[in-house]
């Protein structure tokens, strides 16, 4: 039996194409889930730490008192990982810091004289506070901790709080690797909380957990739903960092063994993941399917089950007539992660056609796991098609731009007729008076 659901773009009707591309959002915006998350949010808003502890008990089977929510200074200081993991964290932080420092070098104040006597521009400053959500349930993700925290620290956010569900063993412990990341980056406000309750706690503030103005971080549909719901209370969030998804765009030059490995790279995340191969070659699709069968047998049962769901009902293989059509399919699907695996002579032209993706990794040596862990480009990226309109989490996610203008009397005199004409049309006499009183 084929691992990948097989489709041909030219033979698909619009309902089939829409169904393929609208993945994941139904779960996040499910009415029952929304109601359940709403109850958690209301509980946290009304009862603070008590509600956070209640969510830990009910959903994570961990019993904590409010004073145990925050990781202590001793916990942060004592956390250790193997020398290999410690070196890997340092390597990743260095790459992320370099990438985000380049962004900061381009995010500077600017101004110009748009007409004689009128100067306009922008002032760039960090946001005042941010909450970082690091998932922990199906697995532990210290890589998410540094993918979020390095951009925030490079941007210069003065107040950072990180929330992470406790490890799934029922101990209430935070993964030591997450604590090591926090220690290396100087983050001391670290809290063990259930995901949706933690998002709510960051948005409202509790007796223990500080209130922040923006919350970022990927998570399950309940976590993504909680972030969407908290926008109603004036909290800024990123749209949407939900279950992982990836797309490989390949032609007949691609190595099927590597394509299969890269598809499984993201497919093993969970049964809610979505993975798509878009190719111009039916022969490659057949070879990749055979390789997937071999490589799936080498995965643990739970990872193999997740991969079959990601490549079957959630994703699959789309055959395209040519690379232009393949790029059009990729742009419509708008993946979180995209790998371009085409012949070198077609790379540049195909890359030019690709506009909707959280990241584009060019060539089969630029694998998804390198992007996830060490390259330095953002790895917390928009999912569910939001790559059409948003970007990954970099230092820019933690900056804001304030417009600044200065006019002299000559410039104001020149602009006054425009001001008065618009005031008269829109019916604002006080606006007009503010201009004429200066004449």
Residues 6+ apart with CB under 8 A from 58: none
Mean pLDDT of 158-179: 93
Q: Is 24 exposed, middle or buried (0-12, 13-18, 19+ CB in 10 A)?
A: buried
337 in active site: yes
The tens digit of pLDDT for each residue in 99-157 reads: 999 999 999 999 999 999 999 999 999 999 999 999 986 667 899 999 999 999 999 99
248/245 Cα distance (integer angstroms): 11
Q: How far from chain centre, in Å, is Cα 278?
A: 23
| pLDDT tens, position by position, 390-419 | 999 999 999 999 999 999 999 999 999 999
As a whole number, the mean pLDDT across the chain is 95
Residue 169 binned pLDDT confidence (cut-offs 50, 70, 90): confident
Options 337, 345, 346, 426, the catalytic residue: 337
Domain boundaries, the chain: 6-24+243-376, 28-237, 408-436
DSSP for 177-202?
A: HHHHHHHHHT---EEE--HHHHHHHH
Q: For the structural domain made of 28-237, what CATH number should be given? A: 3.40.50.1980
Q: What pLDDT score does 139 carry?
A: 66
Q: How is the beta sheet containing 110-115 ordered, strand by strand?
A: 110-115, 118-126, 399-407
Spatial distance between the Cα atoms of 127 and 216, rounded to a whole number of angstroms = 13
Confidence of residue 272 (pLDDT cuts 50, 70, 90): confident
Active site residue 365: no
Of 336, 345, 388, 426, catalytic: 336
The model's pTM is 0.91
User: Which pLDDT band, with edges at 50, 70 and 90, does 372 fall under?
Assistant: very high
CATH of domain 6-24+243-376: 3.40.50.1980
Region of residue 376 (phi > 0: left; psi between -120 and 50: alpha; otherwise: beta) = left
| Separation CA 317–CA 173 (nearest Å) | 41
**Radius of gyration, alpha carbons of the chain:** 25
Q: Do domains 6-24+243-376 and 28-237 have the same CATH topology?
A: yes
């Amino acid at each position: 039996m084929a691992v990948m659901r097989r489709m041909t773009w030219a033979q698909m009707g619009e309902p089939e194409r829409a169904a393929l591309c609208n993945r994941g959002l139904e779960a996040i915006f499910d009415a029952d889930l929304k109601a359940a998350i709403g109850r958690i949010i209301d509980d946290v808003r009304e009862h603070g730490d008590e509600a956070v502890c209640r969510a830990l008990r009910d959903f994570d089977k961990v019993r904590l008192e409010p004073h145990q929510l925050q990781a202590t200074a001793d916990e942060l200081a004592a956390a250790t990982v193997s020398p290999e993991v410690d070196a890997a964290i340092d390597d990743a932080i260095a790459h992320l810091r370099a990438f985000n420092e380049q962004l900061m070098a381009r995010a500077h104040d600017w101004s110009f004289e748009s007409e004689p006597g009128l100067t306009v521009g922008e002032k760039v400053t960090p946001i005042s506070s941010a909450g970082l959500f690091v998932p922990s349930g199906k697995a532990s993700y210290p890589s998410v901790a540094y993918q979020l925290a390095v951009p925030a620290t490079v941007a210069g956010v003065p107040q950072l709080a990180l929330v992470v569900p406790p490890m799934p063993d029922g101990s209430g412990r935070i993964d030591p690797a997450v604590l090591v990341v926090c220690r290396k980056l100087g983050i001391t406000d670290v809290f063990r909380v259930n995901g949706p309750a933690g998002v709510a706690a960051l948005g409202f503030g509790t007796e223990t957990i500080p209130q922040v103005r923006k919350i970022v971080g990927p998570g399950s549909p309940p976590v993504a739903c909680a972030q969407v719901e908290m926008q109603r209370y004036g909290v800024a969030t990123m749209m949407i960092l939900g279950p992982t998804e990836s797309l490989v765009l390949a032609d007949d030059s691609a190595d099927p063994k590597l394509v299969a490995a890269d598809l499984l790279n993201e497919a093993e995340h969970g049964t809610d993941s979505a993975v798509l191969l878009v190719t111009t070659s039916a022969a490659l699709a057949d070879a990749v399917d055979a390789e997937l069968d071999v490589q799936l047998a080498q995965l643990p049962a739970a990872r193999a089950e997740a991969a079959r769901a990601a490549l079957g009902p959630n994703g699959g293989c789309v055959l395209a007539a040519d690379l232009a059509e393949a790029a059009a399919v990729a742009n419509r699907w708008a993946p979180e992660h995209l790998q371009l695996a085409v012949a070198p002579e077609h790379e540049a032209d195909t890359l030019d056609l690709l506009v909707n993706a959280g990241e584009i990794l060019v060539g089969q040596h630029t694998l998804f796991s390198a992007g996830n862990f060490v390259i330095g480009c953002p790895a917390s990226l928009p999912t569910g098609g939001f790559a059409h309109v948003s970007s990954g989490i970099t230092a820019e996610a933690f900056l804001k731009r304030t417009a600044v203008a200065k006019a002299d009397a000559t410039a104001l005199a020149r602009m006054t007729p425009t001001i008065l004409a618009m005031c008269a049309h829109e019916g604002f006499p006080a606006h007009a008076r503010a201009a004429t009183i200066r004449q």
